[in-house]
Amino acid sequence: MLIKTVMIILVAFFAYMHSYMGSTMHNRPIIVAPLVGLVLGDLTTGILVGATLELVFMGAFPIGASNPPDFVSGTIIATGFIIMSGQEIAGAVALAVPIATLVLLFDNFLMTVVLIQASHIADKFAAEGDIQGVEKVQRIAGIGNKVILALVVGLGFYLGVPMIEKILTYIPEYVIHGMDVAAGILPAIGFTMLARMMINKELFPFLLF
């Protein structure tokens, strides 16, 4: 189990690093789930779960300042559960969405509380004209965030879905509902933010196109 957990952590880290050098989209469920299937020795189920969850999260994209549910964690843990328990593939949907929402809450905490401190450190280097210092902070914070998320996914896989479901029960219903509402509103806000930057004589034709 420990070896499988380490492999799952590596898969998660690989998926989260998709945005490090510009998004390569290899974090999508249709890519990640088959990798989990390879790790657990059931590629066929991994492919089927990946295709199913890709349909569920097809519209989940970060737009502007909005973050969609963390479908990497939802895909990995749900796929692992389906393969190891032998349950129906449809059960992956019921697991992936709440798990993705839970990890999104944690990721938002990292972004708004932890990583903001890295920005302040980078600002100090920038004020001193130390470009290399700014780059180091960016790399350490960027990769460190992915490592933390990958470890969280590995921990979730190791502890199992029952533990995750137990954690979800402690989150108030109004918080979950609020996240659902925000998930519907934020993409529109993000697109509006992008549109405001593009609405000028030079760029507006490309926006319409």
Q: Which of 45, 42, 101, 112 is nearest to 72 (CA)?
A: 101
Better-scored residue on pLDDT, 132 or 182: 132
Average pLDDT over residues 16-45: 86
pLDDT value of position 165: 62
Query: Which residues touch 18 (CB under 8 Å, ≥6 apart)?
Result: 24, 25, 26, 27
Confidence class of residue 32 from pLDDT cuts 50, 70 and 90?
very high
pLDDT tens-place string over residues 71-83: 888 899 888 888 8
pLDDT over 80 at 185, yes or no:
no
User: Which three-class secondary structure state does DSSP give residue 143?
Assistant: helix
Confidence class of residue 130 from pLDDT cuts 50, 70 and 90?
confident
Check: CB of residue 137 under 8 Å from CB of residue 121.
Answer: yes
pLDDT over 70 at 186, yes or no:
no
pTM: 0.71
Q: Which of 74, 99, 93, 102 is nearest to 175 (CA)?
A: 102
Angle, helices 91-109 vs 131-159, to 10°: value is: 140
pLDDT tens-place string over residues 38-63: 999 889 989 998 988 888 777 666 66
Give dist(CA 105, CA 107) in Å, integer: 5
Environment class of 14 (CB within 10 Å of its CB; exposed 0-12, middle 13-18, buried 19+): middle
Give dist(CA 161, CA 155) in Å, integer: 11
Better-scored residue on pLDDT, 168 or 51: 51
